[in-house]
Amino acid sequence: MLDTLSRLQEVFADVFEQPELQIAESTSASDIAAWDSLMHVGLMVRVESAFNVRFTSRQLAQISTVGDLVQAIEAQRP
């Protein structure tokens, strides 16, 4: 799980173009000013690519924190 969070850290920093951005499992869109609905779509596309996973619409609707995202990724890992 720490490896997943560490890799997500890199994805978030890249997507939001904020190298100093720090995330935690409790981080949500309200914690990152640029994380609006459009950025959410781009973020999820990058996460899917980085982790070689695919999320359903239902899963995407249930992701509201980084912790939710970690769990969704981990659920698809062998």
Give the CATH number of the domain where residue 11 resides. 1.10.1200.10
Cα distance between residue 67 and residue 28, in whole Å: 9
> By percentage, how much of the chain surpasses pLDDT 90?
88
pLDDT at 4 exceeding the cut of 80: yes
Average pLDDT, the chain: 94
CB 25 within 8 A of CB 67: yes
Interval 20-44: pLDDT, tens = 999 999 999 999 999 998 999 999 9
Domain region containing 25: 2-75
Q: What is the CA radius of gyration of the chain?
A: 11
Domain count along the chain: 1
Start-to-end Cα distance in the chain: 13
Residues 43-52, mean pLDDT to the nearest whole number: 96
pLDDT at 13 exceeding the cut of 90: yes
Cα distance between residue 17 and residue 60, in whole Å: 22
